[in-house]
């Protein structure tokens, strides 16, 4: 049904957004500094900033899932498709 499709699509979009943000940060120092700003402890921030994993692989990591949360995306203006669907559908 449409509700589950919207939820799946929303999850995929958020994962792609995390990958794009990770790619934007480019340098190790930038990745580290931004992770620390988002609340990751120093050691873990260096560990993840120095990873050699690909953008999509790291976008599904626990660190990015905890730091680049749904609340974070709402704060920068991304509106959840599944929430919009529920609002429109229930009206």
pTM of the model: 0.88
**Residue 75 φ/ψ region, left for φ over 0, alpha for ψ in the -120 to 50 degree band, beta for the rest:** alpha
68/79 Cα distance (integer angstroms): 14
**Res 34: pLDDT:** 97
**Hey, where are the domains in the chain?**
2-90
Binned average pLDDT, 10 residues per bin, the chain of 91 residues: 90 96 97 97 96 95 94 92 88 72
What was the pLDDT predicted at 91?
72
Which residue matches tokens 């794009």?
A: 20
CA-closest candidate to residue 37, choices 23, 25, 54 = 25
Which pLDDT belongs to residue 71? Answer: 93
């Amino acid at each position: 049904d449409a509700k589950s499709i919207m939820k799946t699509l929303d999850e995929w979009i958020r994962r792609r957004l995390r990958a794009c943000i990770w790619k934007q940060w480019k340098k190790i120092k930038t990745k580290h500094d931004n992770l620390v700003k988002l609340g990751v402890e120093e050691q873990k921030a260096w560990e993840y900033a120095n990873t050699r994993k690909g953008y999509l692989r790291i976008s599904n990591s626990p660190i990015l899932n905890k730091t680049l949360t749904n609340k974070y995306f709402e704060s920068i203006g991304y509106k959840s498709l599944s929430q919009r669907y529920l609002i429109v559908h229930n009206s």
